[in-house]
Amino acid sequence: MIFYLALLGAGEIDGWTIFAFILAYFLAVILAMSVHEFSHAFVATKMGDDTPRLQGRLTLNPFAHISGLGMLSFLLVGFGWAKPIETNPLKYKNYRKGMALVSIAGVTANLIFAFILSAGFFFLNYFGDPAQTNLFLIFLNDFFLYGFLINIALLVFNLLPIYPLDGFNFIRSFTKPGNKFEQFMYRYGNIILIVVILSPLYDILYSTVFVSLLNWFCMFWGLFV
């Protein structure tokens, strides 16, 4: 993000426009993370586990979910984290079903949220050019675009079948406890995750999914105009 802002500052863009971008990005990160974590808490509660509710996590209030260090990391380098939702799978009405549904709840919510944000981005740009209008529309355009970007980033990242991500927990819900894959991931998952994040293949995967979904969603919204 710092590099991007440096590029903005090098151009003929005034300070208020840069401020609008920073505010839009900041709000997009907070909302995307809050929606993700709340969805885990909501589904876990529906499956019979009251741990998230007792810990005050069954809320969309960002202050219940945001990690200060994780937020700072997201703003500085574009990668960060929220406070993970603590659950007790033993309380689920159906253990395997609960594990699977809770695991994919966050990414499902991010996908739905991204779909909604794509509507705002599409219609705002279809009926005008926000960059040539007032500051509020510039802010909205940045919020819709970067909100979409961040939600898709959370979707792609968390679907990776690597411990401790949601993708791993989803797969684990269909396998026998203590299997070799599970043991391997518990031992080396964090190392593999770092390697994947630093790999250009991850950037290619994310960029492909981001562009494809944005195009598909905008094509859908285009059916209404």
Residue 3 has pLDDT above 50, yes or no: no
Kindly state the tokens that stand for 197.
């994040």
Task: Select the more confidently predicted residue: 76 or 151.
Answer: 151
- Per-residue pLDDT of 180-196, as tens digits, reads 999 999 999 999 999 99
Using DSSP, state whether 216 is helix, strand or coil.
Answer: helix
In this structure, of 66-70, 152-156, 216-220, the range with the lowest mean pLDDT score is 66-70
- Per-residue pLDDT of 37-92, as tens digits, reads 999 999 999 999 999 999 999 999 999 999 888 888 877 776 778 999 999 999 99
- Smallest CA-to-CA distance from 34 within 58, 55, 1 is with 58
In this structure, of 113-117, 167-171, 203-207, the range with the lowest mean pLDDT score is 203-207
Its sign, for the CA torsion 213, 210, 150, 126, is negative
Q: What percent of the chain has pLDDT over 90?
A: 71
What pLDDT, on a 0 to 100 scale, did the predictor assign at position 109? 98
Crossing angle between the packed helical segments 200-222 and 95-126, to the nearest 10 degrees: 60
> Catalytic: 182?
no
Residue-averaged pLDDT of the chain: 90
What pLDDT, on a 0 to 100 scale, did the predictor assign at position 2? 46
Cis peptide upstream of residue 52 (ω within 30 degrees of 0): no
State the pTM of this model.
0.91
CB count in 10 Å sphere of residue 218: 16
What pLDDT, on a 0 to 100 scale, did the predictor assign at position 163? 95
Q: What is the Cα–Cα distance from 41 to 125, expressed in whole angstroms?
A: 35
What pLDDT, on a 0 to 100 scale, did the predictor assign at position 12? 54
Kindly state the tokens that stand for 131.
């960059």
Whether the CB-CB separation of 46 and 92 falls below 8 Å is answered with: no
Domain count, the chain: 1
What pLDDT, on a 0 to 100 scale, did the predictor assign at position 10? 46
Which structural domain range is residue 167 located in? 2-222
* CB neighbour list of residue 99: distance below 8 Å, 6 or more residues apart: 89, 92, 169, 170, 172, 173
